[in-house]
């Protein structure tokens, strides 16, 4: 069985008080409790404070380009769908630069677990508005790049995911680690694409959406709530303001992308025989 010390990576360079710290601690607890060894899974990340996440762990890692986390994660799953793949991204990285990739990952239902560190700001690049920043006329902030305030409407990733029939849609809060741990466990166990949006306060650049701001608003979804009721899930996803739900908002069970591709359904690509002569024959057609 793995132990917490098995996952010790580089010393984190996040700001003291950053919401990324509890997410890192929770994730380590989850993989230990699920009995997953460091060599048994891969984490893919992009650019940003959240993109540093796998460097502070010990595991297989691919740190790629800004917004391009999901294409790499998809490629790894298609090459070896026996390997669990985790994708980590920030709200800017995933919902901004990587927004198009997110849409198609949800459509395909590739069996990747995506954890978005959502601090409603670009932290690494010093505080410009992200897609999830609240518009100034609805309680949001002015930033260095938006001195007149945030004029664009705030993106709602939960409503977007439900609208696209994403296989697993959930939201957590870095300030409630017990709840977040169970949420991440459920996402890892789910068969299909899992999106977990995690409120992760930025203590330097976002002075509005603080730990206290979230604590005054977030509430755990009621036990009797049915996450498989898509219409009701969409209503739940639209809740924002004085009350913001955390927990599993929507869940469905449908075939994964890997299961629907005949050539890899029964046997991972990495375990299939390789005959270079077939490639040579194909290349000769272009001579």
pLDDT tens sequence across 163-207: 999 999 999 999 999 999 999 999 999 999 999 999 999 999 999
Cα 238 from Cα 274, distance rounded (Å):
49
Q: Are 110 and 103 in contact (CB under 8 A)?
A: no
| Range from 5-14, 191-200, 219-228 carrying the lowest mean pLDDT | 5-14
Of 156, 118, 126, 124, nearest to 143 (Cα)?
Answer: 126
The separation between CA 187 and the C-alpha centre of its own chain, rounded to angstroms, equals 10
In tens, the pLDDT along 66-108 reads 889 999 999 999 999 999 999 999 999 999 999 999 999 999 9
- Residue 165 has a CB neighbour count (10 Å cut-off) of 14
From the CB of residue 95, how many other CB atoms can be counted at a distance below 10 Å? 22
Whether 32 shows a pLDDT value over 90: the answer reads yes
Q: Give the Cα separation of 228 and 72 in Å (integer).
A: 29
Residue 95: per-residue pLDDT: 95
Judged against a pLDDT cut of 90, whether residue 128 lies above it is answered with no
The CA-based diameter of the chain, rounded to the nearest angstrom, is: 68
């Amino acid at each position: 069985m793995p132990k917490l010390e098995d996952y010790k990576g580089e010393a984190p360079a996040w700001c003291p008080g950053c919401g990324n710290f509890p997410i890192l601690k929770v994730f380590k607890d989850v993989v230990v409790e699920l009995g997953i060894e460091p060599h048994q899974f891969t984490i893919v990340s992009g650019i940003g404070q959240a993109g540093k996440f796998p460097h502070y762990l010990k595991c297989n890692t691919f740190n790629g380009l800004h917004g391009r986390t999901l294409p790499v994660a998809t490629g790894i799953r298609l090459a070896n769908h026996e390997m669990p793949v985790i994708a980590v991204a920030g709200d800017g990285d995933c919902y901004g630069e990587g927004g198009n990739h997110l849409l198609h990952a949800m459509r395909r239902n590739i069996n990747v677990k995506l954890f978005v560190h959502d601090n409603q700001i670009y932290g690494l690049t010093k505080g410009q508005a992200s897609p999830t920043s609240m518009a100034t006329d609805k309680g949001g902030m002015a930033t260095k790049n938006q001195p007149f305030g945030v004029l664009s409407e705030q993106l709602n990733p939960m409503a977007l995911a439900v609208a696209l029939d994403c296989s697993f849609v959930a939201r957590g809060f870095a300030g409630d680690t017990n709840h977040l741990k169970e949420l991440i466990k459920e996402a890892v166990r789910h068969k299909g694409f899992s999106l977990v949006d995690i409120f992760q306060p930025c203590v330097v650049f976002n002075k509005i959406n603080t730990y206290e701001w979230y604590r005054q608003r977030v509430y755990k979804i009621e036990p009797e709530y049915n996450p498989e009721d898509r219409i009701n899930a969409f209503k739940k996803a639209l809740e924002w303001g004085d009350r913001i739900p955390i927990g599993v908002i929507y869940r469905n069970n449908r075939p994964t992308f890997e299961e629907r591709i005949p050539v890899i359904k029964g046997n991972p690509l990495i375990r299939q025989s390789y005959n270079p002569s077939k490639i040579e024959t194909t290349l000769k057609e272009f001579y």
